[in-house]
Structure 1
Amino acid sequence: MSWEFLLTALVVCLAPGIGVVYTLSVALGQGLGAGIWAALGCTVATLVHLGVALVGLAAVLHSSAVLFQAIKYAGVAYLLWMAWGTLRGTGGLQVEPAAAQPISRLVGRGIMLNLLNPKLPMFFFAFLPQFMAPTDGPMVMAELGAAFAALTFATFVGYAALAATGRQTVLSRPQVMAWLRRAFAASFAALGVRLALERA
């Protein structure tokens, strides 16, 4: 495994996206523990997409415009629903002091968000092969994908820890909380719009 792959994968993981926004909002609202469970859910979805790529379904998704569009718009709808819930301060994504959500719900939402993101299988289909030799088999792809998933989890936990560090300071200021809630809602909505404009 090359350092070029690890560096490129780290940059991809650090780039703010659906998983980062979800993990940050959960960590701010419910603390580091909840943020770690959210990060785990996002990572599990990454592993599912890796499995799909390994059996070749990513190629099918890439070649089927109808399938791509169906998954894409399901993801858009889910992101807009998350934006609306965050803006209203309801559900597991309220960016305010909140009663602990069940672990299954935190993980489940992370999985759902990334499962409905058709860009992930496209990522595995287009990104990983760049770091593979023509003679490499599925085991090499699995190794690279597992490394990417591990980097994803570590990066998201880092984001959660960062959010949890300043959590009490942020939560003690209602005006800041109101703006944060709007910012997270806008982020989910913007991600939904960007996904809607994504081409297969």
Structure 2
Amino acid sequence: MTLSFLLTSLIVVASPGTGVLYTLAVALAQGSRASIAAAFGCTLGIVPQMVGAMLGLAAILHTSALAFAALKWCGVAYLLYMAWQALRDKGALAIAAQPSAKSQRRVIVTAILINILNPKLSIFFLAFLPQFIAADEPHPAARLLELSAVFMAMTFGVFALYGLFAAAVRDRVISRPAVIAWLRRSFAAGFAALGVRLALSER
């Protein structure tokens, strides 16, 4: 495991994106346990992308305009749906004094869907991880799995830290209706902006 891989992965994972935004929103809405669930769900959502890259799905998305567009617009629709949910204070982003086990399952499922419906993530795995596999590597598939596992562990760790930090200030937030309304609009705008960015993205 090279230092360049670890540093590059950390930059990629820590950069603000859909998963980070979702984890922060859930942490403020439902607290620390839900934020860990969101981090776990975002990490699980990497698995299909990793498997897709290994099976060549990412290559298909890269070369097929129709396949890429279909998955992209599903992702755009879901992000806009998340924006609407944030505005309405519904679903996994609803403010809850005592989150239930059912709500945490919803948080995990939503986080998984956020990553699955992002075609750029599959292409990222296809383009990023192979750079750190030597041409003479005797077991490239095993090496890819190793790199993916480290990337997933870093994703969970960084997202969990984001979530726990947000959850730490949650009590100060939910006691102020004006702040909650501002955050709800901010998160809705953030999801909508990410949806627009995905809509404008090319293969």
Q: State the TM-score, normalizing by the size of structure 2.
A: 0.95
Equivalent residue number for residue 146 of structure 1 = 149
Matches within 5 A, 1:67-78: 67-78=67-78
The answer for unaligned runs of 5 or more in structure 1 is none
Equivalent residue number for residue 84 of structure 2 = 84
Equivalent residue number for residue 130 of structure 1 = 131
The letter of the residue matching 1:191 is L
Q: Distance in 2 between matches of 1:119 and 1:19?
A: 13
Question: Which residue of 186, 196, 201 corresponds with 1:198?
Answer: 201
Matches within 5 A, 1:30-179: 30-94=30-94, 96-101=95-100, 102=102, 103-136=104-137, 137-179=140-182
The letter of the residue matching 2:64 is S
Contact kept, 8 Å, 1:25 with 1:184, in 2: the verdict is yes
Q: Distance in 1 between matches of 2:98 and 2:85?
A: 16
Q: Distance in 1 between matches of 2:155 and 2:80?
A: 24
Equivalent residue number for residue 16 of structure 2 = 16
Q: Distance in 1 between matches of 2:160 and 2:148?
A: 18
The answer for unaligned runs of 5 or more in structure 2 is none
Query: How many residues matched?
Result: 199
Q: Distance in 1 between matches of 2:18 and 2:144?
A: 24
The letter of the residue matching 2:154 is L
How many angstroms does 1:69 deviate by? 0.3
Q: Distance in 2 between matches of 1:190 and 1:8?
A: 25
Q: Distance in 2 between matches of 1:34 and 1:21?
A: 14
Contact kept, 8 Å, 1:83 with 1:184, in 2: the verdict is yes
**RMSD after superposition:** 1.1
Q: Distance in 1 between matches of 2:130 and 2:92?
A: 37
Q: Distance in 2 between matches of 1:97 and 1:173?
A: 14
Q: Distance in 2 between matches of 1:175 and 1:104?
A: 29
